[in-house]
Amino acid sequence: MSKAGALDLATGLGGKIDKSDVLSAVEKYEKYHVCYGGDEEERKANYSDMVNKYYDLVTSFYEFGWGESFHFAPRFKGESLRESIKRHEHFLALQLGLKPGQKVLDVGCGIGGPLREIARFSSTSVTGLNNNEYQISRGKELNRIAGVDGTCDFVKVGSVLGGDFMKMPFPDNIFDAVYAIEATCHAPDAYGCYSEIYRVLKPGQCFAAYEWCMTDSFDPRNQEHQKIKAEIEIGDGLPDIRLTGQCIDALKKAGFEVMWSKDLAVGSPVPWYLPLDTNHFSLSSFRLTAVGRFFTKNMVKALEFVGLAPKGSQRVQDFLEKAAEGLVEGGRYQLSVGLSFELKRFCKYCDGDER
């Protein structure tokens, strides 16, 4: 996990946004969301700007509290958060059947924690796709430190190359495997995003993912359920959270054969949301506990007061805290999950036979 400290957190706050503009960026981001009067259609229409602002604002917080891999994982008793995250990434690589030398795409790669872990575990070359300049610059530095900068790289969408999740800047049939970890949920249209993944994946090869979804237990008429969903959306930079069935239907419509899918929350010996539960304490993931978050909140307040952190930093901490509350409640009520699935692309050139 990252060894980011208080100074790293302070200097990284706001990402590539000018420090004097962080507060206005926070205000604009907040206005996209239900909690501040925003609506789903506006978030979807402006998803690229919304998600980019979100990761400029939160990346240093994530790295400070979570490490280099910004995702959850099912967990065994006696297993640390760090160990569960690494095992989760190794499991994904094994499901894809990765072989040394293959060319792999990570859709929505963050600062590249999973990218580096999977590349080292499988001896593959991994390209990370991202729309956030700050995350890419941070990822390149971490790649260099890890010694994988010769085999792993990043592509910024929305740059001179053009495109985004909905229009990837790659030719057809170029990757041997594609994966996404809690990332394609940022796309405004699941079918459009999965169709692009299908296009850049070689025929007969696999796409595997962990996806944020709402379960069938979610009741859109229940105000408490809607509140939980809204808290997760603002805290995780999501235009919407789709139902599990909607994701599976969109994958099939895009042309994939769904080999298997699973609600990862079911059967996990340790609840996936435990690191954020205020009733839980852990020295190994202290910064995520209630005490650790209280410490971070006051540290950020002090850093902002003395001018080491930009104005608006506390507001970012506040909506991340709101997300933590929503995630824990969503987990307890079994409303939100990380849906895992593996899919195979049919060969469209050989009458349905896999190549």
Q: Transcribe 80-142 into DSSP letters.
A: -HHHHHHHHHHHHHHHHT--TT-EEEEES-TTSHHHHHHHHHHT-EEEEEES-HHHHHHHHHH
- Determine the pLDDT at residue 263: 84
Q: How far apart are the first and last CA of the chain?
A: 39
* Per-residue pLDDT band at 355 (split at 50, 70, 90): very low
Q: Are 118 and 88 in contact (CB under 8 A)?
A: no
Residues above pLDDT 70, as percent of the chain: 90
- Determine the pLDDT at residue 223: 93
Give mean pLDDT, residues 267-280: 85
Task: Mention every residue, 6+ apart, whose C-beta is less than 8 A from residue 278.
Answer: 289, 290, 328
**Model confidence pLDDT, tens digit, residues 114-144:** 999 999 999 999 999 998 999 999 999 999 9
Put the strands of the sheet holding 153-156 in their side by side order: 153-156, 125-130, 103-107, 175-181, 201-214, 336-345, 256-263
- Indicate the DSSP class of residue 334: T
Most confident of 30-39, 94-103, 273-282, 314-323: 94-103
- Determine the pLDDT at residue 114: 97
Question: Looking at this protein, which amino acid is placed at residue 154?
Answer: F
Whole-angstrom distance, CA of residue 267 vs CA of residue 273: 14
Q: What pTM does this model have? A: 0.89
Structure tokens at 324: 């933590």
Structure tokens at 44: 């979807």
Q: Are 178 and 107 in contact (CB under 8 A)?
A: yes
